[in-house]
């Protein structure tokens, strides 16, 4: 038995924003290399729920999960693990994928549908299919073009890019990279002057809505084991991009990290939206909703959208699959706010199931991160195309010529 001591590591994105405190870990007698290889296999299986993933040398991915092995071959282990793993025992991570597989589709026959229009509207923006890119942090660690490549891919695929506060480029750089529609996902700087200026920059850069992510409780074993952290220059750029322009190149990594740990407001409550409403007219969404009561509260304070999400199993472990919460929430909201969902979308049939259960559209997180790491902008474009082809097939097979024809009766109850 070997005892390893871990020092503080940084994870980013406000619910995971603070330094994790010093943790000690017992390991068994296996070598580091062996256990790392075993970990990698376990993670690919946990992420897919299946062992059949494409090998790194396969030329053309034919399904979203093919990008897991391709990205694994390209990335340092710690970065691959950061994207792929979930919190604690990964119960929620696995459940997100497994729940979709439990839901069964009952297609009506002989409907005469041979073509489908996949387009839909979210918050009045027409998108070419009900799949958007979810906010994902640290995109610059997966590919040099990072968020700029993701923005171009979303624009050319005709869909929306929800840009993380921690994406790795400034809101202006991402806006300039591609003309497509964008939403901004806000983690809240404690300094409200910085927060207000950031929101103003988001508006000036023509983002169309603001998502406030509110779920907390990230506790990822792999990131602690790997001591995963942002390189210094990326952390400095991230903090400056948010608006902490005073930070100097001369600051040590420890100083920057300590600043980062203090910079974010992790204790916001519902009245934060009053403040946000007072500084912007943009539509507002709340991300991380799993309870009907919270969805109704969001409606009661006039929020425009609700993202049913457990953060892809990266926050508190043991939460239910997001897809299992969609139907109750959509029924309660009754169209008074847009209901979107994310978590576990790996197939076009998953998109159909989510829409049938009441989501207006879905967001994909890991799929676009894996694809970005594997093949930059073309990878992200391809991952959207794979979902488009599969979703179109699912629509035609269920006799839906338009997205608004997809309904609950297609799901076996």
Ligand X SMILES: Cc1cc2nc3c(=O)[nH]c(=O)nc-3n(C[C@H](O)[C@H](O)[C@H](O)COP(=O)(O)O)c2cc1C
Only one of the segments 1-9, 17-25, 133-141, 252-260 lies at the binding site for ligand X (rule: CB under 6 A); that segment is: 133-141
Q: Binding of ligand X at residue 359 (CB under 6 A)?
A: no
Return the number of the residue (357 or 397) whose C-beta is nearest ligand X: 357
Could you say which of 143, 169, 238, 311 is catalytic? 311
* Cβ 27 to ligand X shortest distance, Å: 25
Q: Is 140 in the site for ligand X (CB under 6 A)?
A: no
Minimum Å distance from CB 310 to ligand X? 8
Report yes or no: 133 and 381 within 8 Å, Cβ to Cβ.
no
Judged by beta carbon, residue 224 or residue 405, the one nearer ligand X is 224
Beta bridge partners of 65: none
- Which helix H or strand E contains 241, and what residues bound it? helix 232-242
How many chain residues are in contact with ligand X, going by CB under 6 A? 25
Among 140, 146, 243, 344, binds ligand X (CB under 6 A): 344
Query: Element (H or E) spanning 278, and its range?
Result: helix 272-279
For residue 255, the SS3 value is: helix
Write down the least CB distance from residue 118 to ligand X, Å: 19
Using the minimum distance from each CB to ligand X, give the nearer residue, 344 or 348.
Answer: 344
By CB under 6 A, tell whether 166 contacts ligand X.
yes
Task: Answer yes or no whether residue 85 interacts with ligand X by CB under 6 A.
Answer: no
Q: How far apart are CA 209 and CA 112, in angstroms?
A: 39
Is 398 one of the binding residues for ligand X (CB under 6 A)? no
Beta-ladder partners of 25: 4
Choice between 178 and 290, CB closer to ligand X:
290
Q: Which of residues 5-34 bind ligand X (CB under 6 A)?
A: 13
DSSP state of 359: -
Tell me if 75 contacts ligand X by CB under 6 A: no
Q: Does 159 bind ligand X (CB under 6 A)?
A: no
Interface residue with ligand X, options 171, 178, 345, 354 (CB under 6 A): 345
Question: Which tokens belong to 196?
Answer: 């207000």
Cβ 383 vs Cβ 59: under 8 Å:
no
| DSSP line for 58-115 | -SS--STTHHHHHHHHHS-HHHHHHHH--STT-HHHHHHHHHHHHS-B-PPS------
Backbone angles phi, psi at 163, to 5 degrees: -95, 125
Using the rule CB under 6 A, give the single segment among 50-58, 225-233, 330-338, 362-370 that binds ligand X: 362-370
Q: Give 116 or 202: the residue with its C-beta nearer to ligand X.
A: 202
Joined together, the tokens standing for residue 51 give 């062992």
Closer of 87 and 213 to ligand X (Cβ): 213
User: Is residue 326 part of the contact set for ligand X (CB under 6 A)?
Assistant: no
In contact, 362 and 109? CB cutoff 8 Å: no
Residues in contact with 82: Cβ distance below 8 Å, sequence separation at least 6, in sequence order? 11, 138, 141, 220, 222, 223, 226, 228
Known catalytic residue: 169?
Answer: no
Question: Cβ closer to ligand X: 9 or 116?
Answer: 9
CB 96, min distance to ligand X, A: 5
Nearest to 308 by CA among 273, 344, 340: 340
Question: Applying CB under 6 A, does 257 fall inside the site for ligand X?
Answer: no
Task: Choose the binding region for ligand X from 148-156, 229-237, 311-319, 378-386 (rule: CB under 6 A).
Answer: 311-319
Q: At 387, is the secondary structure helix, strand, or coil?
A: helix
Options 88, 118, 127, 134; binder of ligand X; rule CB under 6 A = 134
**Structural contact between residues 232 and 333, judged by C-beta atoms closer than 8 angstroms:** no
Instruction: Say whether residue 83 binds ligand X (CB under 6 A).
Output: yes
Q: Does 374 bind ligand X (CB under 6 A)?
A: no
Distance, CA of 161 to CA of 147 (rounded, Å): 9
The answer to whether the CB of 5 falls within 8 A of the CB of 24 is yes
> What residues make contact with ligand X under the rule CB under 6 A?
13, 82-83, 96, 134-137, 164, 166, 185, 213, 287, 309, 311-312, 314, 342-345, 364-366, 369
Catalytic residue set? 311
């Amino acid at each position: 038995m070997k005892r390893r001591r871990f020092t503080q590591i940084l994870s980013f994105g406000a619910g995971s924003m603070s330094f994790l405190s010093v943790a000690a870990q017992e390991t068994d007698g296996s070598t580091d290399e062996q256990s790392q290889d075993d970990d990698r296999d376990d993670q690919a299986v946990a992420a897919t729920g299946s062992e059949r993933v494409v090998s790194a040398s396969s030329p053309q991915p034919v399904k979203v999960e093919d990008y897991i092995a391709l990205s694994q071959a390209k990335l340092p282990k710690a970065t691959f693990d950061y994207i792929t793993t979930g919190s604690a025992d990964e119960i929620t991570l696995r459940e997100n994928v497994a729940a979709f597989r439990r839901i069964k589709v009952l297609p009506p026959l002989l409907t005469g549908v041979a073509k489908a229009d996949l387009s839909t509207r979210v918050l009045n923006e027409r998108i070419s299919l009900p799949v958007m890119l979810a906010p994902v942090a640290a995109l610059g660690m997966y590919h040099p073009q990072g968020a700029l490549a993701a923005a171009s891919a979303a624009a050319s695929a005709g869909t929306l890019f929800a840009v993380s506060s921690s994406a790795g480029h400034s809101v202006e750089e991402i806006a300039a990279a591609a003309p497509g529609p964008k939403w901004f996902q806000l983690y809240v700087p404690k300094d409200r002057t910085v927060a207000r200026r950031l929101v103003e920059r988001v508006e000036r850069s023509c983002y169309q809505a603001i998502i406030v992510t509110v779920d907390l409780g990230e506790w990822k074993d792999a990131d602690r084991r790997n001591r995963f952290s942002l390189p210094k220059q990326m952390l400095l750029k991230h903090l400056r991009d948010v608006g902490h322009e005073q930070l100097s190149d001369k600051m040590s990594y420890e100083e920057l990290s300590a600043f980062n740990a203090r910079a974010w407001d992790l204790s916001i409550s519902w009245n934060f939206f009053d403040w946000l409403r007072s500084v912007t007219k943009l539509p507002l969404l709340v991300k991380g909703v799993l309870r009907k009561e919270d969805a109704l509260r969001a409606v009661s304070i006039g929020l425009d959208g609700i993202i049913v999400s457990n953060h892809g199993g990266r926050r508190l472990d043991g939460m239910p699959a997001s897809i299992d919460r969609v139907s109750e929430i959509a029924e309660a909201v009754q169209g008074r706010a847009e209901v979107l969902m994310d978590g576990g979308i790996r197939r076009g049939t998953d998109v159909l199931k989510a829409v049938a259960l009441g989501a207006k559209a879905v967001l994909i997180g890991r799929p676009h991160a894996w694809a970005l790491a594997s093949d930059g902008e073309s990878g992200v474009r391809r991952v959207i195309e794979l979902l488009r082809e599969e979703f179109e097939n699912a629509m035609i097979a269920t006799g839906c010529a338009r997205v608004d024809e997809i309904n609950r009766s297609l799901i076996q109850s």
